[in-house]
Structure 1
Amino acid sequence: MNRGKAAVTAGQRRGAVSLLMAMVLLGVFPLDVLLPSFPALAEHFSTTPANIALSISLFAVGIAFAQLLIGPLSDAIGRKGLLLVGMSISMLGALGCVSTSDYTLFLIFRVMQALGCGCFVLSQALVQDLFEGEQRDRLRILMVTASGIFISISPLAGTFLQATLGWRGSFWVFIGLAAVVLIKAWLFLDNSRPSHSGARPGFIRSYRRVLGDFEFVSYWLISAFAFACHFSFIVISPLIFMDQLQMAPYEFSLILLIYGAAYIVGGLVATVLSRRIKPGQQMLVGLGLILLSGLAMLYLSSNFALTSATVLIPMLICTAGTTIARPAATSKAMGLFPELAGTSAAAGSTLTFICGGLISALISLSPANLQATLGYSFVLLSGVALALNSRISRRARIHESHAMTQPGGD
């Protein structure tokens, strides 16, 4: 146990868990709760639903680049101050979004909101700082599962907010939740820098160190590709269900309620698997399910007409795989450089959001057959991720064999 964790009290840990859950809840509002408002946003800004979908992708890319600065800074000056500043900036961006009627200004304020939301990357660093071992792994699974629960109820919440407060409702609730996170961070975190022995490398050297490690990059790419499958569906789901299938916002919210419930099942399975098999095997199971979902999506798109069932059934399989694979890959990546937890989280989350943003943008630009495009993407992404996982396993076996042949080896 490092000295940073030794100084953490049980009260701080309980407060940190409640803070992390609040951050997970807050994370669904800039994206998922806004989905039922796509038609209203398109009408208000005199643009197309596809452009609104692209604004979601732009938001993800904005978060990714903000994290590049926030992560290493948090290793140097602490997590608390940056979290407080980030929440304040995101609140100002959300206020700008509700006050403008110009689409270009809306995009600018969304980017501002995204830059503030870049501080969400600190959640992974806080897990690394304050928890350890199985407790840390279980908390990461809990965060993914909680995300699924919030995703499952967010479309209904978005539909209610749209009906009562209009599209601005989700932004007002975001501002309120951001204020809660800000207060919790002020109360439960201290601003001391994570304690590790040895000199701390500079900004560029920190990134060169973590991104120069094959295992680190591979684990995060596995997590990123699994996330991209989920995020791509979230971004284009209004185009499929509300635009192509002509569903009402309430019907759309019920569809996503079922989709979000798959996260709960996946989280329960991931918890069981984490106690019985190694992380590499967990990733193999999760990625295998994503590959299966892609093949099922392609089969259904080529043999049946587009319906909610032909899209949702493969997505339930994909979501279960994502929930199993992502926590295992993230824990393995974050465990490689515990003294650079902020930098590690920022580098990994940047890869994740760039992959999610760019891949979802590419899919949304090919509206002719979104179902088949999703299927091909799942097959490709899971195939590459499985190859990376296999490569990591081979390298580990080679290193073990080499160690055993050296003098003094067993």
Structure 2
Amino acid sequence: MLITRVDHRLRLALILGSLSGFGPLTIDMYLPAMPGMADELRTSPSLVQLTLTVFVVGLAVGQVIVGPLSDSWGRRRPLLTGIVLYLIGSVWCAVAPTVEWLIAGRVVQSLGAAAGIVLARAIVRDLFQGTAMTRFFSTLMVVNGVAPILAPVLGGQLLRVTTWRAVFVVLAGIGLVLLLAVVFTLPETLPADNRARTDLRTFRTLVTDPSYLRYVLTAALMFAAVFAYISGSSFVLQDAYGLSAQQFSLVFGLNGLGIVLLGQLNGLLVGRVAAERTLLRISLTIATLGSAGVLAGATLGLPLLFLLVALFVVVSMLGMVLANATSLALDGHGGAAGAASSLQGLLQFLIGGLAASAMSLPGPVTATAMAVTMLICSAAALTVLLLRPVVPQPADE
């Protein structure tokens, strides 16, 4: 099925981009509220931090559940169920009387958000192929980049006039809008004739496909490099370099803007100037060099501006890497797009979480620890890409 009309493409991009942005939006928007949550609920900061941990775990687990189900049932029913769960979880969090209830609500909310993330990718695979799919994934980078820009700012502004509970009310409102948008404007994209039962053999096929694993691991490792920045930058830039909360928000927002810009540049270049694999190699090489720059800035005591430019380079490349790697990974698995998308999501959050945990094991996160983690992950992503599987390659390779 091909989407040709411009208005339909824009509406589809807005809906699917918003669904795929559920994760960063729901994480980043309530970060400024965490100290107030601990005070009002009379609990420890560590238990409030656990609400973030269980959400990330729920995102990973939920994708593995929903993705395969959508290959058998179609995309629409699991997606609508997921958004309803997200709504319930958001309201649950808004009225939670204790931190234990809040944690439970975050679990429900995360499972619903997972459906939006995994099925947005699967739906793109249903509708597009080849370079057209890559360009559409590049378009989704607009919303994916804008979410981390606006979320903490919106959350911070809400806290100036109300309490942290309003953050979850707003998230419930966003979920309701998306539910109505899906109900009235997004048809089923996987016809009944194309559905297939997903079982362990499906995942065995995926994990034994060297080409699929190559691109999925590349995306996951690059995501881990940026996740290390997301997890550690507030400590590094505010505690070590003395940035204020407002200055940090500006830096965070500019880096999110970089994801948007590079994602759009990728859409313009792919198929016209270079193929997906070429752009993927170039973007990963630049990201690795940028990570080396972050490490140099951290260890050599270079000016803060140098460190910020290097961070911008690394984070921006995520827009190109995810668009190209996701398209290449899913291109050969249209019959199991839900399962293929779910495994990609699981690996991204699993590897990203492990990288962030390893970074903080020695103690408080330092600029050097963050830089080393980013360099290891980005260099590993480039290495995985260059270790090409023994399969026939197109002429541009």
TM-score > 0.5 by shorter chain: yes
Cα displacement string for residues 210-229 of structure 1 (whole angstroms, at most 9, x for unaligned residues):
12211111211111111122
Q: What is the match of residue 189 of structure 1?
A: 186
Deviation sequence 1:341-386 (CA, Å, 0-9, x none): 1111111111112122232233244443431112111221122211
Kept after mapping to 2: 8 A contact 1:90/1:114:
yes
Distance 1:400 1:311, change over 3 A: closer
Residue identity opposite 1:356 in structure 2 = G
AA aligned to 1:273 is L
Q: Give yes or no for the alignment of 1:149 onto 2:146.
A: yes
Which shifted more, 121-130 or 280-289?
280-289
Change (3 A) 1:21 1:386: closer
RMSD: 2.8
**Is the CA contact 1:227–1:322 (under 8 Å) kept in the aligned structure 2?**
yes
Q: For residue 79 of structure 1, report the CA deviation from its aligned partner.
A: 0.9
Is there any run of 5+ residues in structure 2 with no aligned partner, and where? Answer: none
Match of 2:282 in 1: 285
Structural mapping, 1:38-117, within 5 Å: 38-45=34-41, 52-53=48-49, 55-117=51-113
Deviations 1:279-336 (A, max 9, x none): 222121121122122211221111228x864653222011122212111110000001
Q: CA contact under 8 A between 1:284 and 1:389: conserved in structure 2? A: yes
Q: Distance in 1 between matches of 2:99 and 2:319?
A: 35
**Superposition deviation, residue 338 in structure 1:** 0.7
Pick aligned residue for 2:30 from 23, 34, 45: 34
Q: In 2, are the aligned partners of 1:50 and 1:239 still within 8 Å (CA)?
A: no
1:133 to 130, 133, 153: 130
What count of residue pairs does the alignment treat as equivalent? Answer: 392
Secondary structure at the counterpart of residue 364 of structure 2: helix
Q: Does 1:176 align with 2:173?
A: yes
Which residue in the other structure is 2:357 paired with? 361
The 10-residue stretch of structure 1 (167-176 or 251-260) with the greater mean CA deviation from structure 2: 251-260
Shift in Å at residue 45 of structure 1?
4.5
Aligned partner of 1:391 in structure 2 is 387
CA–CA distance in structure 2, aligned partners of residues 14 and 264 of structure 1:
16
Q: CA deviation at 1:84?
A: 1.0
Aligned-residue offset at 1:130:
1.7
Tell me the equivalent position of 1:226: 222
Amino acid at match of 1:336: G
Shift of 1:78: 0.9
Q: Does 1:122 find its partner at 2:119?
A: yes
What's the CA shift for 1:150? 2.8
In 2, Cα distance between the equivalents of 1:300 and 1:158?
31
SS in 1 for 2:191: coil
Question: How far has the Cα of 1:18 moved from its partner?
Answer: 3.2
CA distance in 1, matches of 2:386, 2:31: 37
Once the 2 structures are TM-superposed, how far is the Cα of residue 101 of structure 1 from its aligned partner? 4.4
> How far apart, in 2, do the equivalents of 1:309 and 1:34 lie?
28
Is the alpha carbon distance of 1:241 and 1:94 closer, same or farther for their aligned partners in structure 2, counting shifts above 3 Å?
farther
Letter in 2 for 1:328: N
User: Partner letter of residue 292 of structure 2?
Assistant: L
Letter in 2 for 1:302: T
C-alpha separation between the residues in 2 aligned to 1:290 and 1:50? 33
**How much has 1:143 moved relative to structure 2?**
0.8
Deviation at 1:48, TM superposition (A): 6.1
Q: How does 1:265-344 map to 2 (within 5 A)?
A: 265-274=261-270, 275-304=272-301, 309=305, 311-344=307-340
**Secondary structure at the residue paired with 1:276?**
coil
Match of 2:158 in 1: 161
Distance 1:51 1:295, change over 3 A: farther
- In structure 1, distance between residues paired with 2:256 and 2:188: 35
- Summarize deviations over 1:37-76 as a string: whole Å, max 9, x none: 2333344445666665554343222111111111111011
Q: Give the TM-score taking structure 2 as reference length.
A: 0.88
Mapped to 2, the partners of 1:286 and 1:82 lie a distance apart of 34
> Is the counterpart of residue 372 in structure 1 residue 363 in structure 2?
no
* Equivalent-residue separation in structure 2 for 1:170 and 1:246 (angstroms): 27
Q: How far off is 1:236 after superposition? A: 2.9
Q: 1:85 to 1:400 in 2, by over 3 A?
A: closer
SS in 1 for 2:26: coil
31-40 or 209-218, which deviates more:
31-40
Gaps of at least 5 residues in structure 1 are 402-410
Deviations 1:245-285 (A, max 9, x none): 56554333222222222123322332343131222221211
Give the Cα separation in 1 of the matches to 2:39 and 2:234: 15
| Aligned equivalents of 2:266, 2:46: Cα separation in 1 | 34
